[in-house]
Amino acid sequence: MRHVRLFAPILLAGLTGCNALISPPPRAANDPLFYDGSYKGEARLVRSNSPLCPQGQQGVLMIGDNTLTYSYTPNTVFIVPIAPNGRLHAQEGSVVLDGQIAGDHMDFVIRSPGCETQYATNFVLNHS
């Protein structure tokens, strides 16, 4: 019976720990792949002069090898290297992506002649 009394608190502590929220591990600022990982957030269409503008939505973006690859439309795919200071910039024809990563937050805007979409995301997971 003594073993049951000792085992129950240990089991309870273990099960309680399983319900705890797990936060992403801290990232080292000197890591060459510092920005790599998943960013969860929202896209919001703020200007539209065309029915072809992508609509706002929620989702997850991934950065690998300090590069964001993002398909804005089927014909416009951005491959955006992340600068050491977190700056994002790329242009595909007349469509421009500009943004910044600061801490665990990534914001960027995509502007085209007919559309403007704002993105606000937060770091959620490092795949490294």
Q: What are the tens digits of pLDDT across the range 94-106? A: 999 999 999 999 9
pLDDT digits (tens, 9 = 90+) for 59-110: 999 999 999 999 999 999 999 999 999 999 999 999 999 999 999 999 999 9
Helix/strand/coil (H/E/C) assignment for every residue in 30-72: CCCCCCCEEEEEEEEEEEECCCCCCCCEEEEEEEECCEEEEEE
Is residue 71 within 8 Å of 62, Cβ to Cβ? no
Domain ranges of the chain: 27-125
Confidence bin at 33 (pLDDT 50/70/90): confident
pLDDT tens-digit readout, 21-30: 555 555 555 5
**Residue 115 to residue 90: CA distance in whole angstroms:** 16
CATH topology for 27-125?
Lipocalin (2.40.128)
Task: Give this prediction's pTM.
Answer: 0.74
81: how many CB neighbours lie within 10 A of its CB? 12
